[in-house]
């Protein structure tokens, strides 16, 4: 007879939409508390699993259960609130529990044996946070402005969620620091999570948090968590958060799924930012999960932005507020917001990339020792090669997109599938040797600007320096950090870049920001494009004139220059007045009239297949199946016809999607959940289908 055993319920990594039971049963000598990490056999492999609460309506156990191979001792079970969060995420975003739960753990944890983990844990000091020193130890010498005090007082007095609507440079970060300090002082052992949209913003934020809180709670109380860390670093941060040793976790969207047993506060900085939405696997919104998680555990949540998402703005509408809106309109030190200088490109010399008045303005600033930022709002504007004789364009052989000309290594590269090839000597179609780039990328802009500014001398009696930051110049680890450091040190006079330079940075000497070709977003088919453009221009403009004292000493005023062919567009009128509320009101009125989010809820069903026809066939069959089965919620959900994606073909795969829309979130959720089994069944009938996926609350249509 084998040793007596008890059944344990375990979540294992199951494929994305696996129809296998989400929770499997195994046998073990003793009962294991839910949330325990174990290693179990799965098929022929051994995998990491998490013991789970008993599934509802579980039938009798099959007689012969496989045994748990090992228990990862020494690690406290993942707490119930974490399990609830993961289960909600899986349910809401229509993915398997196993996929979401296991992918929320640091990758290296999945590979460690019980012994290896035990060794690792011995190296992490046990979860005793540094004793709370007296608050006087903090280096906080900053006196909050009246507006900051007002916001902080509201956060003390109410439970939120809060939408901190503060102009760029109004000192939102200072309010976060204050809120974190207040929450962690009140409750020894409590934890705060601070989310930022971009990895490149974490070092600056981390420095500010360390400066403020290391004296108070020790260096090990503050950790970062983001995808640019090495697996070992990530594991260390994750363990520190899970054991409670870390009091403050700073991270990108992935950090929302960290185990934080004593979480009392979540901050979502730049809450409008699209990068909070995961674009693969479980396509969750870290911002929305932050609100859910905070409510679930009774923590406070602060969403901060100068240009909130229309969803959050609407939710904080004073007429029926779900979020409490806190307004900080003034800049610190009574600094001015940048004045808008709109250039009508139809009045400029033909083919001018930079309008002469803009070059004059940049020249003047550089001669005074001030810095300028030139923004190209998409890498997608990068140049393609073109043959003037036959009209050939450098198309990607695998995608319905053009390949981009990269001058530095003379390659053509596809930004969708990554395919790269050397630049041809002559036009592949007609043999014309004279093929030229059309359109401008950041590389060309940098070159051209350097050329235009070649005779400009700074007060330090050196030639003006132009530098560029984009995905190409920052590929090497640490490159971006080094480049930003040069900018902060004043070694660069004009910085040319994509949106990664526009967000969040606290540049002290930038006084002029210019957006060179923003028009593409004005007439995009994506209904969120104007919202994103407005936010980007406000954010970018917000990098100018942040240091009121410097501006005064320079007798300089900040400016935001925008080159456009459509100066009459209403978006610019709101931008001129720094009037986000006016912009939002008009957008919301349009969305309400058209029944679009936040007045309705959306999901996408996407299909990738070998042909466009096959992809659309699958979608049509799926929608037919839903109708025939009369799925719950069908009567309240509108299913649009299938359409190809904007970039229809990527890496030889054709992509199509179908939009679902409803006024009732619940109806949409019911329909999606009931649809899953039908989609699995349908998939087996469509051989040319490569994959399908569901995107709930999609960011781009």
Note whether 392 binds Zn ion by CB under 5 A: yes
Q: How far is the CB of 420 from Zn ion (least distance, A)?
A: 9
Looking at 306, 387, 502, 584, which residue binds Zn ion (CB under 5 A)?
387
Question: CB under 5 to 8 A by kind: which of Zn ion, ligand ADP, none does 144 bind?
Answer: ligand ADP
Among 84, 379, 398, 569, binds Zn ion (CB under 5 A): 398
- Shortest spacing between CB 561 and ligand ADP, in angstroms: 20
Token pair listed for 528:
């969120």
The nearer residue to ligand ADP, 508 or 610, going by C-beta atoms, is: 508
Cα angle 195, 200, 202 (rounded to 5 degrees) comes to 40
Of the candidates 420, 427, 371, the residue with the CA atom closest to the CA atom of residue 397: 420
Instruction: Please report how close the Cβ of residue 309 comes to ligand ADP at its closest, in angstroms.
Output: 17
Residues lying near ligand ADP in the complex (CB under 6 A): 142-145, 148, 166, 168-174, 332, 506, 546
What is the biggest distance separating any 2 CA atoms in the chain, rounded to whole angstroms? 92
Least distance (Å) between residue 164 CB and ligand ADP: 9
**Contact between residue 630 and residue 621 where contact means Cβ atoms under 8 Å apart:** no
Nearer to Zn ion, 625 or 647 (CB): 647
Instruction: Indicate which of Zn ion, ligand ADP, none lies near residue 171 (CB less than 5 to 8 Å, by partner kind).
Output: ligand ADP
- Phi, psi at 223, each rounded to 5°: -130, 155
Q: 142 is in the binding site of which of Zn ion, ligand ADP, none (Cβ under 5 to 8 A by kind)?
A: ligand ADP
| Residue 172 binds which of Zn ion, ligand ADP, none (CB < 5-8 A, kind-dependent) | ligand ADP
For Zn ion, give the closer residue by CB, 383 or 497: 383
Rounded Cα–Cα distance for residues 212 and 139 (Å): 6
8 Å CB contact between 162 and 323: yes
Decide whether 427 or 537 has the Cβ nearer to Zn ion: 427
Half-sphere exposure (CA, 13 Å, Cβ side) for 397?
Answer: 5
Nearer to ligand ADP among residue 488 and residue 664 (C-beta): 488
Interface stretch with Zn ion, choices 151-159, 396-404, 531-539, 688-696 (CB under 5 A): 396-404
Smallest distance, ligand ADP to C-beta of residue 507, A:
10
Query: How buried is residue 98: exposed, middle or buried, by Cβ count under 10 Å (0-12/13-18/19+)?
Result: buried
Query: According to the binding rule CB under 5 A, does residue 419 interact with Zn ion?
Result: yes
Tokens linked to 276: 């909070």
**Residue whose entry in the numeric block shows the structure tokens 């325990």:** 36
Q: Which is nearer to Zn ion, 180 or 396 (CB)?
A: 396
Angle at 503 between CA 497 and CA 507, to 5 degrees: 80
- C-alpha to C-alpha distance for 236 and 230, rounded to whole angstroms: 10
How near is the Cβ of 581 to ligand ADP at its closest, in Å?
A: 17
670 binds, among ligand ADP, Zn ion, none (CB under 5 to 8 A by kind): none
Residue 429 contact, options Zn ion, ligand ADP, none, Cβ 5-8 Å cut-off depending on partner type: Zn ion
645 binds Zn ion (CB under 5 A): no
Least distance from ligand ADP to the Cβ atom of residue 174, Å: 4
Q: Per CB under 5 A, which region of 28-36, 164-172, 406-414, 485-493 contacts Zn ion?
A: 406-414
Element (H, E) at 296: helix 286-297
Judged by beta carbon, residue 98 or residue 166, the one nearer ligand ADP is 166
- Considering the rule CB under 5 A, would residue 429 count as an interface residue with Zn ion? yes
Report the DSSP pairing between strands 510-515 and 371-375: parallel
By a kind-dependent CB cut-off of 5 to 8 A, residue 474 interacts, out of ligand ADP, Zn ion, none, with none
Burial of 128-160, coded b for 16+ CB within 10 Å and e otherwise, reads ebeeeeeeeebebeeebbebbeebbeebeeeeb
**C-alpha pair distances (Å), 581 with each of 106, 167, 584, 590, 598:** 40, 12, 5, 14, 16
Decide whether 14 or 170 has the Cβ nearer to ligand ADP. Answer: 170
Residue 396 contact partner, candidates Zn ion, ligand ADP, none, CB within 5 to 8 A by sort of partner: Zn ion
Find the shortest distance in angstroms from Cβ 88 to Zn ion.
36
C-alpha torsion 485→486→490→492, nearest 10: -140
CA pair distance 601, 667, nearest whole angstrom:
10
**Residue 156 interacting with Zn ion (CB under 5 A):** no
How, if at all, do strands 420-422 and 435-438 pair?
Answer: unpaired
> Which spans of this chain sit near Zn ion (rule: CB under 5 A)?
387, 389-390, 392, 396, 398-399, 414, 416-417, 419, 427, 429-430, 432
């Amino acid at each position: 007879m084998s040793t007596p055993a008890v059944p344990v319920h375990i979540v294992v990594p199951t494929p994305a939409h696996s129809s296998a039971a989400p929770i499997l049963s195994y046998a073990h000598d003793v009962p294991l508390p839910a949330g325990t990490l174990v290693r179990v056999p799965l098929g022929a492999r051994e995998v990491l699993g998490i013991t789970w609460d008993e599934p509802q309506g579980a039938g009798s156990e099959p007689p012969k259960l496989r045994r748990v191979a090992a228990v990862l001792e020494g690690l406290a079970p993942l707490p119930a609130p974490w399990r609830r969060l993961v289960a909600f995420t899986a349910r809401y975003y229509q993915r398997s529990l196993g996929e979401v739960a296991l992918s929320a753990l640091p990758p290296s944890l999945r590979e460690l044996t019980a012994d290896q983990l035990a060794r690792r844990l011995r190296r992490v000091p046990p979860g005793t946070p540094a004793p709370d020193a007296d608050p006087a130890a903090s280096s906080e010498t900053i006196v909050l402005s009246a507006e900051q005090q007002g916001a902080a007082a509201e956060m003390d007095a109410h439970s939120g969620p809060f939408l901190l609507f503060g102009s760029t440079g109004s000192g939102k970060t200072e309010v976060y620091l204050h809120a974190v300090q207040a929450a962690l002082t009140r409750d020894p052992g409590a934890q705060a999570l601070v989310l930022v949209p971009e990895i490149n913003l974490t070092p600056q934020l981390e420095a500010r948090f360390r400066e403020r809180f290391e004296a108070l709670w020790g260096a090990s109380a503050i950790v970062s968590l983001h995808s640019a860390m090495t697996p070992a670093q990530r594991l260390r941060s994750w363990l520190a958060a899970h054991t409670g040793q870390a009091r403050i976790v700073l991270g990108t969207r992935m950090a929302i799924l960290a185990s934080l047993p004593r979480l009392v506060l979540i901050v979502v900085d730049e809450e409008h930012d699209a990068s909070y939405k995961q674009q693969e696997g479980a396509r969750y919104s870290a911002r929305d999960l932050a609100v859910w998680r905070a409510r679930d555990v009774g923590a406070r949540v602060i969403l901060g932005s100068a240009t909130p998402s229309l969803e959050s703005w609407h939710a904080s509408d004073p007429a029926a507020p779900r979020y409490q809106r806190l307004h900080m309109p003034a800049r610190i030190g009574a600094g001015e917001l940048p004045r808008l200088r709109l250039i009508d490109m139809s009045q400029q010399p033909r083919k001018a990339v930079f309008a002469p008045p803009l070059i004059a303005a940049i020249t003047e600033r550089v001669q005074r020792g001030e810095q300028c930022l030139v923004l190209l709002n998409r890498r997608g504007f990068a140049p393609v090669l073109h043959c003037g004789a036959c009209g050939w364009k450098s198309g990607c052989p695998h995608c319905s997109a053009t390949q981009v000309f990269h001058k530095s290594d003379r390659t053509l590269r596809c930004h969708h599938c990554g395919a790269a090839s050397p630049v041809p000597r002559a036009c592949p179609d007609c043999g014309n040797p004279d093929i030229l780039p059309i359109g401008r990328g950041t590389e060309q802009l940098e070159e051209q600007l350097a050329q235009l500014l070649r005779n400009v001398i700074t007060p330090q009696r050196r030639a003006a320096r132009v530098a560029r930051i984009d995905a190409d110049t920052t590929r090497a680890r640490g490159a971006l950090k080094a480049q930003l450091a040069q900018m902060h040190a004043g070694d660069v006079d004009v910085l040319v870049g994509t949106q990664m330079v526009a967000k969040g940075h606290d540049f002290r000497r930038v006084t002029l920001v210019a957006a060179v070709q923003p028009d593409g977003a004005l007439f995009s088919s994506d209904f969120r494009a104007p919202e994103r453009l407005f936010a980007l221009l406000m954010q970018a403009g917000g990098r100018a004139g942040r240091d009121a004292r410097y501006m005064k000493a320079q007798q300089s005023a900040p400016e935001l220059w925008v080159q456009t062919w459509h100066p009459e567009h209403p978006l610019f009128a709101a931008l001129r007045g720094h009037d986000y509320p006016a912009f939002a009101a008009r957008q919301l009125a349009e969305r309400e009239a058209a029944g679009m989010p936040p007045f309705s809820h959306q999901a996408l069903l996407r299909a990738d297949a070998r042909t466009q026809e096959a992809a659309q066939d699958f979608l049509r069959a799926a929608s037919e199946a839903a109708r025939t089965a009369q799925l719950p919620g069908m009567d309240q959900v509108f299913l649009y016809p299938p359409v190809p994606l904007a970039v229809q073909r990527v890496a030889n795969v054709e992509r199509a999607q179908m939009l679902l829309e409803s006024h009732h979130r619940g109806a949409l959720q019911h329909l999606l959940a009931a649809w899953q089994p039908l989609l699995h069944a349908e998939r087996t009938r469509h051989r040319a289908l490569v994959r399908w996926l569901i995107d709930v609350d999609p960011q781009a249509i």
